[in-house]
Structure 1
Amino acid sequence: MSETAYNKTKLEHLTEYIVSHLNSSVLDNKIDSWQERAAIVVDGEDLGNGGYVAAYWRYEAVISIEEFPHQKLDPRNLFALVACWLSDCDSDRDINELADPEISVDVISDEAADVLIEIEMMEAIQMIPDEAGLITWRGNRYRVQTVPIDVAEEYEMSNAN
């Protein structure tokens, strides 16, 4: 597992996914994304290896695409990209009771429409022990980073009763 802190949010990953799959001329300087109405859900779950989930960061992700060429590119391609990314990369949506994405389309001409996609997202804020960390909690110092997960390389099974 990497020793670095978080690099990207789910929203940043999703935006990059959309950009990488659509023709760049469609999105050149016309796509933007941001977060709104964020909340922190305090947790404290022990993940092992000294790491914890400090909280969950719940927010409204907004993706805006100006002048989407809806006559040249079927908008259902965009909507399918969002759905497939959520299915592959945000599989806990039902458990976290996150709403389905909402889409607004404002047709501005025969060739183009402004598209706004709003998606409720939730991300764990994990932390690991670090004497130089910025966070003091329960008498220990931590830094924000994904908690490493130990994976067994071999196992032994027994039928002892």
Structure 2
Amino acid sequence: MKKLLYQQLTDFLLTKLPLAYQAKLTSNITQGEIVNNGRNVTEKGIELFHFPYSAVFYFDEFPYREISTADLMAWIQIWLLENDLNRSDLELSNPKMEIEILDDATAIIAFDIEFYEPIEAIEDVNGNLEFGNKKYRLAQIDIAVAEQVSEVVNVVDD
């Protein structure tokens, strides 16, 4: 299954942080909701539900004199702009940030970020999910998108 957006953002942030600091970053879903907006998307794929949730990104003993807090905020915002393309359409709130200074070199920084994503499944005879007399497994649905339109027909009703 494709990783959830908060997991993808965590992976991205780990690539930006020094190796010695990476173990101090944790991320978790803090609340979520299972929204029954599922539907058939393709012949072999379904959306089971939509999942709005909040995730916290917790930076323990963040060395704010070595790693710029402004860079950290920018990395998060850039990732969201490039990877969570429906944020503004869904009217998700802006990321919230809290800082607790521990000493003259370290702080605890936490970001609370809202996400909203469909949870999808594809038909699979070995899948562990049964729905509508078919077996599925969690996976992202591949949707074919037309790259070229060869003919447009305009139908007018009388």
Task: Give TM-score, length-normalised by structure 2.
Answer: 0.86
Counterpart of 2:83 (choices 86, 89, 113) is: 89
Q: Which residue of 1 aligns with 2:4?
A: 9
Aligned to 2:118: 124
The reply on whether 1:21 has 2:16 as its aligned counterpart is yes
Is 2:33 aligned against 1:39? yes
Amino acid at match of 1:50: K
Q: Shift in Å at residue 130 of structure 1?
A: 2.1
Is the contact between residue 49 and residue 148 of structure 1 (CA under 8 Å) also seen in structure 2? no
Match of 2:62 among 65, 68, 81: 68
Question: Which letter maps to 1:78?
Answer: L
Structure 1 stretch displaced more, 132-141 or 61-70 = 132-141
With the length of structure 1 as denominator, give the TM-score of the two structures: 0.85
Q: Which runs of 5+ in 1 are unaligned?
A: 1-5
SS at match of 2:87: coil
Deviation at 1:42, TM superposition (A): 1.2
Aligned residue among 64, 78, 86 for 2:72:
78
**Distance 1:47-1:24 versus aligned 2 partners, 3 A rule:** same
| 2:128 alignment counterpart | 134
Secondary structure of 1:42's counterpart equals coil
- Check 1:158–1:14 CA distance in 2 against 1; reply closer, same or farther (3 A cut): closer
For these two proteins, the number of residue pairs brought into alignment is 155
Mapped contact 2:52–2:117 kept (Cα < 8 A): yes
Percent sequence identity is 26
Whose strand proportion is higher, 1 or 2? 1
Q: Out of 64-73 and 114-123, give the one that drifted further.
A: 64-73
Runs of 4+ in structure 1 over 3 Å off: 151-155, 158-161
Question: Which letter maps to 2:132?
Answer: R
For the pair 1:110 / 2:104, whether they are aligned, the reply is yes
RMSD value, Cα: 2.0
Kept in 2, the 8 Å contact 1:40–1:56? The answer is yes
- SS of 1:82's equivalent in the other structure is helix
Between the aligned partners of 2:147 and 2:71, the Cα distance in structure 1 is 41
